[in-house]
Amino acid sequence: MSLFESDKSAERLPVSLITGFLGSGKTTLLNHLLRHGDMKDSAVIINEYGEVSLDHLLVERVDGEVAVLASGCICCTVRSDLEETLRGLLVRRDRSEVPPFHRILIETTGLADPAPTVQLLLNNPLISHFLRLDVVVTTVDAVNAELQLDRQYEAVKQVALADRLLITKSDLAGDTTALETRLCRLNPGAGIERVAHGKIDPARLFGAGLIDPEKKTVDVARWLNEQAFVTPRKAKHAHLGHDHDHGHHHHHHDASIGSFMLAFDEPLDWMAASNWLAHLRSGRGEDLLRVKGILNLRGESTPVAVHGVHHVFHPPVALAKWPDADRRSRIVFITRNIAREEVLALWKAVRAAA
């Protein structure tokens, strides 16, 4: 019998987080998405109606916080705590006070750190029992991004935590090769798309979580995207690996961000692996930006998934089966000022002590 709860992600509503620096096109993207036929069963959470223009889509107020859009979507504002807003929205749905919805979109402010929202979805039992993180989307302004990334660590962190990076305003910026290379260096595992006026097929945007939204099955290869960490990306999306390109050391924020994958051929002891991750969280939690992994553990017949941001991790869950013949444990790290060698040294020390 497994020590871990079985994965129930497929039963939970997907939540997509849309973040990005000031003026990078989050609301333009949201406006386009809400007009798409496949998005009619969505709930949208924004910060304040006064800050976000939804192109006159608001047509009917349900109460002080909830409105029904012309597209049929539900729209809420975050007037207090996001947890309270999410729980209230689910209660209203269950009481049939608002139309049913099958996904939630959350748009953050331009200066927001996306980490607390991700943490809420990963490890708040009042939320994570009903909802699951599907994708973190970050919009990147092609005209101003280089300066924003140089000056604002929040902009760097929004990129580092993303599953999807959308380059906006490329028609105004000209050649974006340098920017795309820089984004790949900061977050090699994220998919990069150029978008004009927020236009993108939702099918290309969502579905970055461990669960394939169409098949309701686990998709480890897409979730980890491990090839991005072991094989350099070519052409305009070239990934320069964990050792940063020495020509870019003037980007002081970039130089602190590292990404790498660790793979283990032999099954791991859970107590050793758990202690290792616990030491990382307690000692370097602020610099542990995102961790995603599939573990092959002794005594477990199926893989165990781990996922965390900073010091907050989702409880490890046992997946229903191995997706393919690859039985290696694989863990992807995106960090700040934590080298691969430091993480490996800690693993060896914990394993030796065990």
19-57 burial code (b ≥16 CB/10 A, e <16): bbbeebbbbbbbbbbbbbeebeebbbbbbeeeebebeeb
Judged by DSSP in three states, 280 sits in helix
Q: Is the pLDDT of residue 239 over 90?
A: no
- For residues 15 and 119, give the distance between their C-alpha atoms in angstroms, rounded to a whole number: 13
Position 89 confidence tier, pLDDT thresholds 50, 70, 90: very high
Position 242 confidence tier, pLDDT thresholds 50, 70, 90: very low
Mean pLDDT for the stretch of residues 253-264? 92
pLDDT of residue 237: 37
Task: Tell me the pTM.
Answer: 0.89
CA dihedral 34→177→140→128, nearest 10 degrees, is 80
Domains and CATH numbers, the chain: 5-221 (3.40.50.300), 253-353 (3.30.1220.10)
